[in-house]
């Protein structure tokens, strides 16, 4: 040990976290700061901008309803996805928690397996279900129930479906973690005091699992609203979300100042949701849900 | 309450409904993936249904696709380096966060998990704007460091959770017996941490190997990783080759953690048996 240093000297802690701190400063905080400055730069032509400060990008964003439409649609799709996730995800979480099934670990493992499978593959595999040559259309055609393939792919419904597929495990695991922390004797107590099972659920289990549900909702909303690949693969041009708009502005039009502006907008909007959440619920639930 | 058994009628119905929806959700989760795997063995030259016969030709075609092989190699080594570096950084960071009290600890703890919460599109654009501002080209090193940052939150959380359970008195005992700081960590803390280390490395590997959105922004011109290669192939059409490629990827990314987990489990069992013998 270095002379004159205490066993758990704060200076040593700083040395230990220095590499990670440096990485996060350079790759996370500095980029966001530079991006914020870039929103005031002047766009000249594709790929060229000057550091002359202007409010043009912000004025354009605030006045053009084209951007508002994207933002609203993204919020709507995000909220819709998060709510459907919550409704559909609560049942499996509850089932895994309450079941007597001996191989409960298997049900949990099956929820984790999708995290290991490439997101791109999971998303495009929906084309085999919803597409013109997909399972549903081919089956319905063969049964003679329809004579034209149904247009299911490249719709907003398909995008939401893909997002649900991606986000359901997050929701289920979050709710499950929250249910696991409930003291089960509370429910027995409620039942023995004369509650019906529905009352016991409504009065005890549901309220105590709300933190996990809230963490799941936030996570699903943020990840859905920030998605890029899903609308790209499963949606038509009209179903593009804010992430696609950012990508096209930067990689397509090479309008960097506007792309930075849009990124900052998305960052601030989603940050507001996250901040509201942490104000009431704190960070710990999210940390647990992410695998801590 | 014992498991899912309820006495009253409405409870029984609710339980059946819960079971049914759970089943549907699991089918929903796996049906598309199973469809992809099944279709990769389909003889039809279109990538979709109906099934026309069994064939392995798409796997053969894959093996002779130079672009795919190059993307696979790129992804593989980036993922391996990411796994190694992130795990190392994660151990050090978790050690500092669990054992030490220092000013700004709470803020730092939040900062570390931030990359998991900020959408990748924003992280992607941010880094790109930064290197444009300092006039640097995109490079493999940048992509690699980016992946490390993306995997870091999960690794730190996993390692931290395990580290909390290791009592510091063990390390302090070694120190008081004259061990150096480093050797007490190596001999005491690290062996106890092994399950978290393995889990972290596997997870970091998969996160890097699968990363799509951020890699689209960060990859150098002309370089494809596995997911971006799949994306650009999808722009043309859904070919049966993509199904084969998808299946290979699934086998790699699901197989490695499963095998890793099994090895870990049998190692722990073996060690327990050896310990038991040693004590007898």
Give the model confidence (pLDDT) of B59-77 as tens digits.
888 888 888 999 999 999 9
Range of the domain at B122: 65-269
Question: Does B127 contact A at CB distance below 8 Å?
Answer: yes
Inside any domain, residue B131: yes
CA A78 to chain centre: 8
User: How many Cβ pairs closer than 8 A exist between chain A and B?
Assistant: 296
What gap in Å lies between CA A201 and CA A209, rounded to an integer?
A: 10
By Cβ distance, the residue of B14, B47, B126 closest to A32 is B126
Interface of A with B in 39-58 (CB under 8 A): none
Inside any domain, residue B265: yes
Inside any domain, residue B31: no
Tokens of B177: 């017996």
Inside any domain, residue B57: no
Give the model confidence (pLDDT) of B114-155 as tens digits.
898 888 889 999 999 999 888 888 899 999 999 999 999 999
Nearest one of A152, A166, A154, A161 to A235, comparing CA atoms: A154
Inside any domain, residue B51: no
Does residue B40 carry a pLDDT above 50?
yes
For residues A184 and A201, the answer to whether their CB atoms sit within 8 Å is no
Instruction: Tell me which chain A residue has its CA closest to the CA of residue B212.
Output: A120
Give the model confidence (pLDDT) of A199-228 as tens digits.
888 888 888 888 889 989 998 999 999 888
User: pTM for this one?
Assistant: 0.87
CATH number, residue B172: 1.10.3720.10
Question: Does B249 contact A at CB distance below 8 Å?
Answer: yes
Q: Tally the domains of chain B.
A: 1
Give the model confidence (pLDDT) of B169-181 as tens digits.
888 888 888 888 8
What gap in Å lies between CA A222 and CA A243, rounded to an integer?
A: 12
Nearest one of A178, A167, A165, A182 to A287, comparing CA atoms: A178
* Residue A183: φ, ψ to 5°: -75, 110
- For chain A, list the domains and their CATH numbers: 65-289 (1.10.3720.10)
Question: Does A266 contact B at CB distance below 8 Å?
Answer: yes
Question: Does B176 contact A at CB distance below 8 Å?
Answer: no
Give the model confidence (pLDDT) of A116-155 as tens digits.
888 888 998 998 899 888 888 888 988 888 888 888 888 8
Give the model confidence (pLDDT) of B238-277 as tens digits.
778 888 988 988 888 888 878 877 887 787 788 777 777 7
3-state secondary structure at position B54 = strand
With CB atoms and an 8 Å threshold, state whether A129 touches B209. Answer: no
Residue B113's H or E segment, with its range, is: helix B105-117
Inside any domain, residue B40: no
By Cβ distance, the residue of B2, B89, B121 closest to A228 is B121
What gap in Å lies between CA B196 and CA B192, rounded to an integer?
A: 9
Sign for the CA dihedral angle at A197, A216, B203, B25 comes to positive
Inside any domain, residue B53: no
With CB atoms and an 8 Å threshold, state whether A263 touches B125. Answer: yes
What gap in Å lies between CA B238 and CA A131, rounded to an integer?
A: 10
How many Cα atoms within 13 Å fall on the side-chain side of residue A56? Answer: 15
């Amino acid at each position: 040990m270095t002379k004159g240093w205490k066993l758990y000297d704060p200076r040593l802690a700083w040395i230990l976290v220095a590499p990670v701190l440096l990485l996060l400063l350079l790759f996370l905080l500095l980029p966001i700061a530079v991006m914020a400055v870039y929103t005031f730069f002047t766009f000249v032509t594709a790929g060229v901008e000057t550091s002359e400060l202007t409010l043009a990008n912000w004025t354009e964003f605030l006045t053009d309803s084209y951007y508002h439409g994207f933002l609203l649609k993204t919020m709507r799709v995000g909220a819709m996805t998060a709510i459907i996730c919550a409704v559909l995800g609560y049942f499996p979480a509850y089932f895994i928690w309450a079941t007597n099934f001996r191989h409960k670990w298997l049900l949990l493992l099956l929820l984790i397996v999708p995290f290991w499978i490439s997101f791109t593959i999971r998303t495009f595999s929906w084309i085999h279900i919803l597409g013109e040559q997909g399972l549903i259309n081919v089956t319905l055609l063969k049964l003679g129930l329809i004579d034209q393939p149904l247009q299911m792919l490249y719709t907003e419904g398909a995008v939401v479906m893909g997002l649900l597929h991606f986000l359901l495990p997050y929701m289920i695991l979050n709710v499950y973690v929250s249910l696991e922390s409930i003291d089960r004797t509370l429910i027995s107590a409620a039942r023995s005091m004369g509650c019906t099972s529905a009352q016991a659920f409504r009065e005890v289990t549901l309220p105590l699992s709300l933190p996990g549900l809230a963490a799941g909702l936030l996570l699903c909303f943020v990840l859905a609203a920030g998605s890029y690949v899903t609308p790209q693969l499963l949606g038509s041009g009209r179903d593009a979300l804010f992430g696609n708009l950012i990508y096209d502005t930067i990689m397509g039009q090479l309008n960097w100042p506007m792309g930075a502006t849009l990124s900052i907008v998305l960052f601030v909007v989603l940050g507001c949701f996250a901040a509201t959440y942490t104000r009431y619920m704190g960070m710990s639930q999210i940390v647990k849900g992410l695998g801590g | 309450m014992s498991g899912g058994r309820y006495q009253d009628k409405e409870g029984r119905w609710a339980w059946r409904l819960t079971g049914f929806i759970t089943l549907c959700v699991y089918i929903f989760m796996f049906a598309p993936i199973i469809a992809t795997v099944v279709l990769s063995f389909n003889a039809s030259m279109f990538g979709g249904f109906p099934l026309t016969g069994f064939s392995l030709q798409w796997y053969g075609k894959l093996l002779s696709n130079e672009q795919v092989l190059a993307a696979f190699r790129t992804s593989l080594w980036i993922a391996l380096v990411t796994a190694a570096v992130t795990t190392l950084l994660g151990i050090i960071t978790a050690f500092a966060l669990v054992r030490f009290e220092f000013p700004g600890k709470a803020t730092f703890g939040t900062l570390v998990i931030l990359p998991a919460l900020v959408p990748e599109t924003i992280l992607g654009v941010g880094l790109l704007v930064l290197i444009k501002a300092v006039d640097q080209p995109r490079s493999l090193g940048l992509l690699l460091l980016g992946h490390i940052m993306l995997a870091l939150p999960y690794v730190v959380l996993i390692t931290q959770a395990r580290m909390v359970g290791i009592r510091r008195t063990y390390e302090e005992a070694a120190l008081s017996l004259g061990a150096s700081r480093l050797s007490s960590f190596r001999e005491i803390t690290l062996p106890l941490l092994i399950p978290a280390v393995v889990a972290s490395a596997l997870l970091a590997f998969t996160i890097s190997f699968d990363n799509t959105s951020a890699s689209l922004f960060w990859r150098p011109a002309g370089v494809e990783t596995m997911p971006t290669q799949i994306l650009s192939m999808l722009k043309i059409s859904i070919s049966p080759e993509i199904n084969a490629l998808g299946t290979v990827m699934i086998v790699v990314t699901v197989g490695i953690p499963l095998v890793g987990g099994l090895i870990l489990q049998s190692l722990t069992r073996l060690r327990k048996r050896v310990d038991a013998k040693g004590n007898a």
